[in-house]
Amino acid sequence: MTTPRPNILCILTDDQGVWAAGCYGNREIRTPNIDRIADTGVRFDRFFVATPVCSPSRATLLTGRIPSQHGVHDWIRGGNVGDGAASYLEGETAYTDVLAAHGWRCGLSGKWHLGNSTLPQHGFSHWFTHQFGGGPYNDAPMVRNGVPVTEPGYVTNVITEDALAFIDRHANQEAPFYLGVHYTAPHSPWTGHPQDIVDSYDDCPFESCPQEPVHPWAGGLTRENMGNRESLKGYFAAVTAMDLDVGRLLDRLDHHGIREDTLVIFLSDNGFSLGHHGFWGKGNGTNPLNMYENSIRVPALISQPGRLPQGIVQPAMFSAYDFMPTLLSYLDLPVPWDRDLPGRDAVDAWTGQTGQPGAGRDHVVVFDEYGGTRMIRTETWKYMHRYPGGPNELYDLVNDPDERANLADDAGYADRRRSMRGELEDWFERYADPERDGRSRPVTGLGQLRPVGGAWDDGSPAFEPLEE
């Protein structure tokens, strides 16, 4: 029997391509436990992050607000630990704030990467975090009880052990729990993973990762890894090792008899390409930054047997900025619409109704931003505008789903380009905070050094410049 106040287990991975799971059709990579969540719940076929890089994407998932509202525009390079530590989401309302205010015990095991990794914040009472956003998979830099430590062991297992202990402490208590399990896998480096799992991919043909001719915008990660079977094996091993621990988490819920009383969510913070389109990486895997489908589309699964349908695929387009209002609505908790949230309550998509989320909407669109690169995507078209001077891109997703033929400079599509650009600019004009608007900020993909907007703007550089 399910409870109206379920526990929540939210598993968030790092740099996992939508193609990197068996339940999304990949027959080469082994993910039986991720697939197990899909088999017992809803798999979203078109879930889009709001920014194709980790920190701003995570900020949007937590707050329901876009980078030009919350001010996190790139992965956080500065202010994670030490004397210069800064809380990048200070003043924001996260869904964990709402959960904690209504009685949920909130815990975090793993990656935070939203500044000040030593300080519990936004409703979390349990706080075991990575000091930075990634790094070596063995003897990783973590924060335990507010103290930076080097934690021995394989970091995926270390995160899982902490999460299992949290479940053991809070299972079957009067207060429900929220547990974020934020793995660094399968983020680089693709070394240091369990050797038996690495070796198990020795004979894999990696047909799911075509090593295409190098993209003209490709960066250093591509040059280091394109055609490298050891890197491919390492990425696949990172996913499979993580999947084994996902199974341990699910088994622990079963052990305590709380699986039906727990909403299980599985997401990644951004997509990834391993040779697809001729580059390795995500939105900052190219210069200029990109919005290819493999960068913005991620695996997304939800499961609560007894309350949600099982084994269905939801084809509706769903954005990360829809996630917060939908989760709170599912839990019958107040949604902070006063924060000018751009998303919508899409519980109908969670409960398995076909078609687009949002009753009465016949024109569902998702928007993305990464600094001066902005995107509008409809069911059938995608347009990317790069401020101030391009290059821009327009794709017919029906006839060109792999985004190979850029129609932005084709005179025959001028009306469509103007229409989509107008809708794009109207939407960002509606939601962007002028003090935090990313349109004209020098976001390069090399990292953010400090928060932006309001009192934070002291004149010092906020973004890492591109090398000349």
DSSP symbol at 84: T
Best CA proximity match to 346, nearest among 332, 334, 358 = 358
Amino acid 1: pLDDT: 47
Structure tokens at 349: 């998509």
Amino acid 2: pLDDT: 57
Amino acid 363: pLDDT: 65
Within a 10 A sphere around the Cβ of 83, how many other Cβ atoms? Answer: 4
Torsions phi, psi of 347, nearest 5? -60, -30
Quote the Cα angle for 462-465-468, to 5°. 165
Going residue by residue through the chain, which has 468 residues, state the pLDDT in tens, using 9 for 90 and above: 456 799 999 999 999 999 999 999 999 999 999 999 999 999 999 999 999 999 999 999 999 999 999 999 999 999 999 999 999 999 999 999 999 999 999 999 999 999 999 999 999 999 999 999 999 999 999 999 999 999 999 999 999 999 999 999 999 999 999 999 999 999 999 999 999 999 999 999 999 999 999 999 999 999 999 999 999 999 999 999 999 999 999 999 999 999 999 999 999 999 999 999 999 999 999 999 999 999 999 999 999 999 999 999 999 999 999 999 999 999 999 999 999 999 999 999 998 765 544 433 446 899 999 999 999 999 999 999 999 999 999 999 999 999 999 999 999 999 999 999 999 999 999 999 999 999 999 999 999 999 998 888 888 999 999 864
How many CA atoms lie less than 13 Å away from 264 in the CB half-sphere?
30
CB 263 within 8 A of CB 40: no
Amino acid 3: pLDDT: 65
Q: What is the spatial distance between Cα 339 and Cα 92, in angstroms, rounded to a whole number?
A: 9
Q: How far apart are the first and last CA of the chain?
A: 61
Best CA proximity match to 286, nearest among 464, 53, 54 = 53
Within a 10 A sphere around the Cβ of 414, how many other Cβ atoms? Answer: 13
Amino acid 357: pLDDT: 47
The domains of the chain are located at 7-350, 366-456
Amino acid 355: pLDDT: 52
Cα of 106 vs its chain's centroid, Å: 20
Best CA proximity match to 113, nearest among 50, 189, 61 = 61
Structure tokens at 34: 């991720």
Q: What is the spatial distance between Cα 107 and Cα 128, in angstroms, rounded to a whole number?
A: 8
Query: Three-class SS of residue 205?
Result: coil
290 Cβ contact partners less than 8 Å away, ≥ 6 residues apart = 52, 217, 283, 373
CA-to-CA dists, residue 364 to 291, 319, 344, 391, angstroms: 18, 10, 11, 26
How many CA atoms lie less than 13 Å away from 271 in the CB half-sphere?
26
Q: Report whether the peptide linkage leading into residue 194 is cis, meaning its omega lies within 30 degrees of zero.
A: no
CB 283 within 8 A of CB 270: yes
Structure tokens at 200: 């198990």
CATH domain 366-456 topology: Arylsulfatase, C-terminal domain (3.30.1120)
Q: What is the spatial distance between Cα 40 and Cα 166, in angstroms, rounded to a whole number?
A: 23
CB 209 within 8 A of CB 190: no
Within a 10 A sphere around the Cβ of 211, how many other Cβ atoms? Answer: 18
Amino acid 359: pLDDT: 39
Q: What is the spatial distance between Cα 251 and Cα 94, in angstroms, rounded to a whole number?
A: 29
Amino acid 41: pLDDT: 98
Please tell me if the domain spanning 7-350 has the same topology as the one spanning 366-456. no
Amino acid 454: pLDDT: 81
7-350 in CATH: which number? 3.40.720.10
